[in-house]
Structure 1
Amino acid sequence: MNLHAVAAIYRFEMSRTFRTITESIASPVLTTSLYFVVFGAAIGARMGDVEGVSYGAFIIPGLVMLAILNESISNASFGIYMPKWAGTIYELLSAPVTWREAVLGYVGAATTKSLMIGTLILVTARFFVPYTVAHPLWMLVFLVLTALSFCLFGFIVGLWATDFQKLQVIPVMIVTPLTFLGGAFYSIDMLPPLWQKIALANPVVYLISGFRWSFYGQADVDVRISFAAILVFLAACLLVVRGIFTTGWRLRS
């Protein structure tokens, strides 16, 4: 494996993050902090506990997932789209770099950014509401796998996009609504029976449920199903990325 190529891509992407730290790091953390102020402190103080957990603490896993999903897709898609837009993607394709090494560099950097944001949000949440983590190791596993999976998905979005507007279509029009409807601010058990069954068709439900279980030991869906869903999504994204680099779809045109 060409580790020099992986390191070069990784360093370049990370340096871009720190050059635009306000947009890359501070903005999503500030936005999530506003959610804590409005939903956690203002509204949460007037609501009862949800499944034995204060409402402010209950929404923490959902808010972290909301930020992680959007930022993972945005970071990874923008990272690979810029070389396509500037025409420097041909240098990558002609260099002695395999698709695995390119993915490690771009997706690895995007995953690092997402984990940084997730960690900062968890630290920031301490200033608003107290919370506990029942399964710290599983919390880290779910966080890393979710960030990695959606960075791979964002990488696919960046390869698919033909203009800057398309980079925002998936996060804004699909992922954010699915997250809001996926139990970020409520438990699926609070819905009527029919809507509970409909909600299970939302893949984000499994991500939020598994992540919330790692905090409070409670989940809307069996944690094993949530874990399997993330692994299946990760494997599917890897196969799609491999297919794109093998066929050259949207890379050579």
Structure 2
Amino acid sequence: MSGVNLHGIWAIYRTEMARSIRTVWQSVATPVITTALYFIVFGGAIGSRMSHVGGVGYGAFIVPGLIMLSLLTQSISNASIGIYFPKFTGTMFEILSAPLNAVEAVVGYVGAAATKSVVIGLIILATATFFTDVRILHPVWMVAFLLLTSLTFSLFGFLIGIWAKNFEQLAIIPSLVITPLTFLGGAFYSIDMLPQPWRTVSLFNPVVYLVSGFRWSFYGLGDVGVGASLAFTAGFMALCLIALAWIFRTGWRLKP
């Protein structure tokens, strides 16, 4: 590990985590209340009319979708705010002039954002057990999907934070793109329930692959193959890393 500025990485990571700890009650209460409301509305209203999906109780069926919805939005939000705030306050030059290379800075910011997202995901999972019987057939794969998705979309959020010029741009992709894609990506239903051609159209929604792979780790069933889910996530992470490498090499949106 010689040559790696572990102290600098830890400083960024600790600072980002401390920012979340200051609002810990909001961070914990929001997913708990939101999860409870989803189960009351979806589990109560829809679940009473559609008791099982693919042999799984509807309440349990929507748990992976709930976690994935929160995971995507939290990962993007945490990472984008983390890197945008130094730009907004004018302290970005302190980061750029610090004895940190690009990889170390990304590890600090993305690591903190992914950690917060994983914690929120686990809180939602724990909350869901009070409402329905959740079983996890492939716990190792569940953790792998949890970590891989958090890291990938924290990288994506980091890119958004660099790209954004104002708070409106910072929020537009999570609210107008990611959340609708998640709702239309099989988070609360199976795309096999859709008539053609809408089922085929849904396969062009990237979130379908994320939700399907994550649900497979719980119940052994999914709308697409688990290999396709892993391939999509790994491919998207590679694209984010390539984009970040170009940004730090050129200084785009980081330097005047």
The 1:191–1:128 alpha-carbon spacing in structure 2 relative to 1, beyond 3 Å, is: same
Is 1:54 equivalent to 2:62 in the alignment?
no
Match of 1:214 among 213, 217, 226: 217
Aligned-partner residue type, residue 57 of structure 1:
A
Residue of structure 1 equivalent to 2:88: 85
Cα offset, 1:47, TM superposition: 1.9
Alignment of 1:147-158 (within 5 A): 147-158=150-161
Match of 1:65 among 59, 63, 68: 68
Match of 2:13 among 10, 13, 18: 10
Cα offset, 1:48, TM superposition: 2.3
1:205-251 Cα offsets, whole Å, 9 max, x none, are 00000000000001110110101110001111111111111110000
Cα offset, 1:95, TM superposition: 1.1
- Counterpart contact for 1:41–1:128, Cα < 8 Å: no
Cα offset, 1:45, TM superposition: 2.9
1:145-188 Cα offsets, whole Å, 9 max, x none, are 00110000000000000111111100000000000000001101
Cα offset, 1:33, TM superposition: 2.3
CA distance in 1, matches of 2:24, 2:199: 40
Output the TM-score relative to the length of structure 1: 0.98
CA distance in 2, matches of 1:156, 1:23: 25
SS at match of 1:133: coil
Match of 1:26 among 24, 29, 34: 29
Residue of structure 2 equivalent to 1:139: 142
Output the TM-score relative to the length of structure 2: 0.96
Which runs of 5 or more structure 2 residues have no equivalent in the other structure? none
Cα offset, 1:9, TM superposition: 0.2
Aligned-partner residue type, residue 178 of structure 1:
L
- What RMSD, in angstroms, separates the aligned Cα atoms of the two structures? 1.0
Alignment of 1:106-125 (within 5 A): 106-125=109-128
CA distance in 1, matches of 2:45, 2:145: 29
- Counterpart contact for 2:35–2:127, Cα < 8 Å: no
Alignment length (residue pairs): 253
The 1:243–1:23 alpha-carbon spacing in structure 2 relative to 1, beyond 3 Å, is: farther
- Counterpart contact for 2:35–2:128, Cα < 8 Å: no
Is 1:102 equivalent to 2:100 in the alignment?
no
- Counterpart contact for 1:29–1:117, Cα < 8 Å: no
Percent of aligned pairs sharing the same letter: 60
Residue of structure 2 equivalent to 1:183: 186
